[in-house]
Amino acid sequence: MKKLFLNLKNVLLILVCFSIFQANADELFNKGKEVFLGAGNCAACHMLSDAGSNAMVGPNLNEIRPDIQRIIMAVRNGIGVMPAMEGILTDDEIEAVAHYTSVAAEQ
């Protein structure tokens, strides 16, 4: 009986940890979406259905489905006519917008 109780406690603990992890991931996603639509101005140039943007200046992100590293490179350093955002966005904002874009582009 005691053993069963301990097991239940472990299951509960795992559930709690998992929901905290989930909440953090959602928070990063939401923050990234804010940057995409706001400070990063990504929506002005890129199509991404989750963000409701239809701009065609840069590539359609739903089509190229960039991974996190590719997004971070483009956002930090700029590419072609896309301006570098290092110094304009904080590291946290760049991380958030890269997380958001890679997840949203997969959908």
Please give the DSSP secondary-structure letter assigned to residue 32.
H
* Distance, CA of 107 to CA of 93 (rounded, Å): 21
Helix axis angle, 68-77 relative to 91-106, nearest 10°?
Answer: 140
Judged by CB under 6 A, does residue 99 bind ligand HEC?
A: no
| Closest separation in Å from C-beta 88 to ligand HEC | 9
Judged by CB under 6 A, does residue 47 bind ligand HEC?
A: no
The single residue among 31, 34, 59, 62 that binds ligand HEC, judged by CB under 6 A, is 59
| Closest separation in Å from C-beta 1 to ligand HEC | 55
Instruction: Find residue 47's DSSP bridge partners.
Output: 54
